[in-house]
């Protein structure tokens, strides 16, 4: 016994060394195999697979005053322009461990997105985990199935119905603010983005947790309780002032791209520590951003805990809203799955951040385009007026179902998303090889970055791809059939891991534009085409000056009550 004990430490050391050696050999083997397969795909030259094209990326990130994520994405776009036009894909060896295949062909994209073995997210998604944790957007397949089951009910049609009164409530406040601006400043706003962004944020906060709507006043909303960073919430009441954490999130996700260049970050999973190191080394202001995010996360936790306490004391206060439903799973002994505080927090974080940025981007660009295309705005106005007349004649109110009658409105929103997709790139990682129609085999463990933004403007599928032309969705000709058959229009991604919030986003967009176009005529005050959209993790929202003018005889207001 004593002899065994004396050699035990030695045995453990040998075992650890063996595990390391086996893993290195395994990695080497995977690397070699991937290298061999990917050699056939066009892409920039490199001399060995351990370093690959890393230098290309380092050059970008080391450029002074350059935004890392912007550089990263424009490099991918440039590479696909240079090498990807023939096959619709190119490879870049993002050494030492990440071969990346950049996809710009609709058919290949669909093949990957619809494959059961390609549900894992690409490695770069890990970089934003320190902000939104290992939530539904970034987690791997096994965890994702569970998270989807938990989140899906809150984004289904039944839940969306219950979100309508809250959305109407915030639209009324939005109108009051715009009316005030018409009185004080001729209806001119220097920047349209905060107008949209604060509305989206308040509605999201309300939809998570509004539970009493009394005399048309919301008594409890996630944000009004949050008091995030002493910024007044609701943000609409604060006069279109965006809370600080929104801007900080943008800056931090941007900077986190620098982590992509540190191979150890792929193994070392404590994202927050990686981030702390990164932000500390950059500058104090970035460090402040990090602490702001941590405070945001702490506030979210506090709200959940307080609400839990309250519901424990009085179960009858429970509503059907997202936060309460999740909390209830903790108190109900018959629950299929008991969510812990961390899991609820992860869902809340994702809902706020994921739901806010994407929708704000899409709405701000739609507004921008409508403000520059008066004829299209006119046509939309006619459709909305006719819809409101019908509602009035039939004594109906605005509902999810009847809003879908507004076909031209839907076309405008979809066309704006085609030109400026909120999520311009999606990424996947393969658990098995995939064989393309042209015989090329893409090996396991490859990261795919699918440039949706480029596919949505592919002239093969979209005639005059840079034109804002909502009617293209109504046509029934060869062009439409072509992109429909090839599923070339997918701004919400595709396959079973596509956007869960699509209907939610469409509802919010429809409501906003029925209200804005119904109430005002809108003019974008900059020169069309001068606004240069930057591609980031998300497309950057449109910042542009805008002017609202009252319409005469508008009927919309009585439908917002």
Residues that bind ligand HEM (CB under 6 A): 136-137, 144, 148, 151, 155, 351, 354-355, 358-359, 362, 417, 422-423, 426, 491-493, 497, 499-501, 504-505
**Least distance (Å) from ligand HEM to the CB of residue 442?**
18
DSSP 539: B
Write the CB contacts of 378 (distance below 8 Å, at least 6 apart in sequence). Answer: none
Q: How far is the CB of 503 from ligand HEM (least distance, A)?
A: 9
Is the Cβ of residue 376 or residue 512 nearer to ligand HEM in the bound state? 512
Q: How far apart are CA 508 and CA 331, in angstroms?
A: 32
d(CA 79, CA 53): 12
Q: At what angle do helices 374-393 and 341-372 cross, to 10 degrees?
A: 110
Q: How far is the CB of 424 from ligand HEM (least distance, A)?
A: 9
Which residue number, 226 or 426, has a Cβ lying nearer to ligand HEM? 426
Beta bridge partners of 448: 101, 428
Q: How far is the CB of 46 from ligand HEM (least distance, A)?
A: 27
Of 37 and 500, the one with the shorter C-beta distance to ligand HEM is 500
Min dist CB 161 to ligand HEM, Å, is: 15
In the complex, minimum distance from the CB of residue 328 to ligand HEM, in angstroms, rounded to a whole number: 20
Whole-number Å distance between alpha carbons of 101 and 93: 8
Smallest separation (angstroms) from ligand HEM to the CB of 56: 23
Q: Which two tokens stand for residue 232?
A: 């007044």
For 276, other C-beta atoms within 10 Å of its C-beta total: 16
137 versus 303: smaller Cβ distance to ligand HEM: 137
CB of 359 to ligand HEM, least distance (A): 5
Pick between residue 289 and residue 360 the one whose CB is nearest to ligand HEM: 360
Which residues lie closer than 8 Å to 346 by C-beta, 6 or more apart?
132, 133, 134, 135, 147
Smaller CB separation from ligand HEM, 206 or 354: 354
- Asked if 90 contacts 98 with a C-beta cutoff of 8 angstroms, the reply is no
Alpha-carbon gap, residue 136 to 351, rounded angstroms = 10
Q: Which is nearer to ligand HEM, 258 or 506 (CB)?
A: 506
CA-to-CA distance for 218 and 24, rounded, in angstroms?
A: 58
Min CB(345)–ligand HEM separation in Å: 15
Q: Per DSSP, what are the bridge partners of residue 441?
A: 435
Residue nearest to ligand HEM (CB): 501
The smaller minimum CB distance to ligand HEM, of residues 31 and 357, is found at 357
CA distance 506 to 413: 8
User: Closer to ligand HEM at the Cβ: 430 or 501?
Assistant: 501
Can you tell me which residue has the tokens 């959209």? 533
Taking the least distance from each CB to ligand HEM, the nearer of 352 and 442 is 352
**109: number of CA atoms within 13 Å, CB side?**
27
Whole-angstrom distance, CA of residue 238 vs CA of residue 360? 18
Q: Residue 194 Cβ, how far from ligand HEM at the closest point, in Å?
A: 18
Give whichever of 155 and 522 is closer to ligand HEM, judged by the CB atom. Answer: 155
> What is the Cα Rg of the chain in Å?
25
CB of residue 134 to ligand HEM, shortest distance in Å: 12
Q: Using the minimum distance from each CB to ligand HEM, give the nearer residue, 95 or 243.
A: 243
Distance CA 429, CA 545 (A): 41
Report the C-alpha gap between 135 and 121 in whole angstroms. Answer: 11
H-type alpha helices, 186-265: 193-209, 222-226, 244-255
| Residue from 406, 411, 426, 425 nearest 369 by CA | 411
DSSP state string for 348-362: HHHHHHHHHHHHHHH
Q: Whose CA is closest to 251, among 502, 449, 69, 16?
A: 69
**Closest approach of ligand HEM to the CB of residue 337, in Å:** 17
């Amino acid at each position: 016994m004593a002899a065994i004990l004396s050699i035990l430490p030695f045995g453990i050391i040998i075992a650890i060394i063996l595990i390391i050696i086996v893993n290195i050999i395994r990695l080497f083997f995977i690397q070699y195999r991937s290298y061999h397969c990917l050699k056939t795909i066009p892409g920039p030259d490199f001399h060995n697979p351990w370093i690959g094209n890393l230098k290309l990326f380092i050059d970008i990130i080391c450029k002074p005053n350059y935004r890392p994520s912007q550089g990263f994405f424009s490099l991918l776009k440039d590479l696909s322009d240079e090498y990807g036009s023939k096959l619709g894909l190119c490879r870049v060896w993002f050494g030492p461990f990440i071969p990346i295949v950049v996809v710009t062909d609709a058919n290949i994209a669909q093949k990957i997105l619809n494959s059961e073995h390609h549900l894992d997210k690409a490695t770069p998604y890990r970089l934003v985990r320190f902000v939104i944790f290992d939530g539904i957007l970034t987690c791997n397949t096994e965890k994702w199935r569970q998270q989807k089951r938990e989140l899906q009910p809150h984004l289904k049609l039944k839940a969306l119905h219950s979100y309508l009164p809250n959305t109407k409530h915030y639209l009324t406040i939005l109108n009051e603010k715009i009316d005030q601006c018409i009185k004080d400043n001729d209806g001119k706003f220097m920047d349209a983005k905060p107008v949209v962004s604060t509305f989206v944020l308040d509605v999201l906060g309300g939809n998570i947790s509004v539970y009493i709507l009394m005399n048309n006043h919301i008594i409890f909303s996630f944000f009004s309780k949050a008091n995030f960073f002493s910024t007044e919430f609701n943000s609409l009441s604060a006069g279109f002032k965006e809370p600080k954490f929104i801007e900080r999130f943008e800056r931090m996700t941007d900077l986190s791209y620098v982590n992509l260049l540190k191979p150890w970050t792929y193994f070392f999973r404590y994202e927050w520590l990686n981030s702390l190191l990164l932000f500390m080394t950059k500058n104090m202001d970035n460090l402040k951003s990090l602490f702001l995010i941590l405070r945001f996360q702490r506030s979210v936790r506090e709200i959940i805990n307080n609400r839990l306490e309250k519901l424990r004391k009085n179960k009858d206060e429970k509503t059907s809203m997202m936060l309460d439903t999740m909390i209830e799973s903790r108190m109900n002994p018959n629950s299929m799955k008991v969510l812990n505080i961390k899991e609820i927090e992860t869902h809340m974080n994702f809902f706020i951040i994921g739901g806010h940025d994407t929708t704000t981007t899409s709405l701000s660009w739609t507004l921008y385009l409508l403000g520059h295309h008066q004829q299209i705005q006119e046509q939309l106005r006619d459709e909305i007026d006719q819809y409101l007349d019908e509602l009035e004649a039939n004594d109906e109110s605005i509902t999810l179902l009847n809003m879908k009658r507004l076909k031209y409105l839907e076309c405008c929103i979809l066309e704006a998303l085609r030109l400026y997709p909120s999520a311009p790139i999606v990424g996947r990682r393969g658990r098995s090889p995939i064989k393309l129609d042209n015989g090329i085999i893409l090996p396991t463990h490859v990261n795919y970055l699918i440039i949706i933004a480029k596919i949505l403007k592919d002239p093969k599928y979209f005639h005059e791809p840079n034109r804002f032309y909502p009617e293209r969705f109504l046509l029934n000709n060869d062009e439409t059939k072509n992109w429909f058959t090839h599923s070339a229009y997918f701004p919400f991604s595709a396959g079973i891991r596509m956007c869960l919030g699509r209907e939610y986003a469409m509802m919010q967009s429809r409501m906003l534009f029925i209200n804005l176009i119904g109430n005002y005529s809108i003019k974008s005050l900059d020169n069309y085409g001068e606004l240069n959209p930057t591609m980031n993790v998300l497309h950057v929202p449109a910042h542009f000056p805008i002017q609202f003018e009252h319409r005469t005889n508008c009927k919309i207001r009585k439908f917002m009550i």
